[in-house]
Each structure stands twice: as C-alpha cells, then as structure tokens.
Amino acid sequence: MDGIFLQQMINGLTLGSVYGLIAIGYTMVYGIIGMINFAHGEVYMISAYLAAIALALLTFFGLESFPLLILGTLLFTIFITGVYGWVIERIAYRPLRNSTRLAPLISAIGMSLILQNYVQISQGARQQGVPTLLDGALKLNIGEGFVQLTYTKVFILIAAFVGMAVLTWIIHRTRLGRMCRATQQDRKMASILGINTDRVISYVFVIGASMAALAGVLITLNYGTFDFYAGFIIGIKAFTAAVLGGIGSLPGAMLGGLILGVAEAQFSGMVNTDYKDVFSFSLLVLILIFRPQGLLGRPQVAKV
C-alpha cells in the first residue's frame, strides 16, 4: 500500500505541475480582464500538435541530441502558440472589450469550437503520438513493491517549476510585470498613467499561451498520444485547479494544480481510475459551493 501511495504521489505531482501551468493562463486572463478564456484548453491542444511537428522536423534534419531536440521543440512550440494566444485576444476579446460580460464568454466558446474543428480537419480525427525520447527510470524498493520515477517525469517536474519561477520573476521584477500588475489593479488608472492597457492584455494572453505550450510539450513527452479533443477535459481540470488555488492568483494556480493532480492520482490508485474525471469535476462543484474564492484567493469586495 505504501508503494502504491508513493507511486501515485509521484504521478500526481507530475500531472499536477502540468495542470498548474495551464491554470496560469486562466488565472492571468481572469485577473486582468475578469473573464475566463474558455479557448485556453484548445491552445494547449494545439501546442501538443506543434510539439509533434517540431520533433518530426528536427529529427528529419538529423538532430538526435535530447537537449537540442527539446530546446528546439520548446522554442518553436512556445513561439507559435504565443501567436495563437495573441490572435485569440485580438479576434475573440478585444472587439468585445466594452460589450456585455456575456458576449466575450460566448465568443471564447465559439473560438474553442473553431480551433477544435480546425485541427480535426487539418490533422485528422485519429489519435496521434510521438515516440519516447527519454528512456530509463529510478527505482526504489518499498517493502514488497517498488516506486518508479522515470527520467521523463523528473524532466517534467524540473521544467514546470523552472517555467513557474521564470514567470514569477517576470511578474515581480520586470517592467512588463509592473504594467501587468497595474492593469490588473485598476485598468482605467493605469491607462491614465500612460500604460497601453490593450497591449498589456495582449501580452498576458501570449504569456498564458506560452505556459500552455510548455505544458503541451511536457505532457506529450510523458504520455506520447493526443488528439483534437485533448484540450477539453484537461482544460476544464486546469480551470478547476485555478479555482481551487484562487482564480487570479499565480501561486494559487500552481498550488491548485498540484493538489488536484495528487488528489486525482490517489483516487485513481486507491479507488477507481474510471471515475477520476467525475472526482475532479465533483471537487470543482464543492469548491464553488464552500470556498468560491479558492485557497489563496480573496473574496470580491464591491467598490462604491
């Protein structure tokens, strides 16, 4: 039992770190414009396809070194996915900036369906995948069983936390981060002080898409398979992680992702893997009922 618990803990931390990266996109967009980008899951899905395309191209040109392969794949995927994030903001959100709150929500859902069908038509509906790039694992004997930590999982955990650390540095230590925080606190006052808030919002969409791209590369390396519908379920789970941690809080997004990943993995290992999605979505309902502001979020205070 201890071996199963520890193995599922490792699996949960790996999955949770990916949830956290995707949740960052939800929480940043909500924090700065007060809207949920429901096309964000599809941005992650597109990044999985881009990662596979990059790996195929780099391998075709004879690149075999894992560090160079993964670096080239990350740069290509993050850049193209960031462009997708910028386009989504310009098409689905900016024209409706001064409209009713419902209009951008409907527009985001429409963009999600467009991206799903676009990928289905252009790449096909069948499941696709990539080969394992990093073989090998660390094994630790626990009683009668053992715990296995693959090198891929180690890489995922390191890359996820490095990505989060870089983003934290950008938000708290750079001029762009100061502009993002000012726009989040009071968009009108930030505009009066000379900040181009439209440009800052575009940057936020690009940053959120870049985090989803990092998650797409990592989870593609781990599982090796994906399809055009992959962004829906994982997008909702990442949204659950953002709500759990406190929507609008960057540390909360990562914390919520880790908690959700570990809880889902332990439920799969100890109870039943067939109902893990039911468990995750039930957790979302309970959070919204008993603590809608999340673990690190603050209750909304009406301004008079």
DSSP conformation class of 274 = G
pLDDT, tens digit (0-9, with 9 covering 90-100), for 186-227: 888 999 989 999 999 999 999 999 999 999 999 998 888 899
pLDDT, tens digit (0-9, with 9 covering 90-100), for 147-180: 888 899 999 999 999 999 999 999 999 999 999 9
Work out the pLDDT band at 300, boundaries 50, 70, 90: low
Domain ranges of the chain: 2-290
CA distance 295 to 298: 9
Say yes or no to pLDDT of 74 above 60.
yes
Fold of 2-290: ABC transporter involved in vitamin B12 uptake, BtuC (1.10.3470)
DSSP conformation class of 185 = H
DSSP conformation class of 143 = T
Confidence (pTM) = 0.92
According to the model, what pLDDT value does residue 212 have?
95
According to the model, what pLDDT value does residue 259 have?
92
Mean pLDDT in residue range 277-285: 86
Beta bridge partners of 148: 139
pLDDT, tens digit (0-9, with 9 covering 90-100), for 78-136: 999 999 999 999 998 888 887 887 888 899 899 999 999 999 999 988 999 888 888 88
Through-space distance between the first and last CA atoms of the chain, rounded to whole angstroms: 55
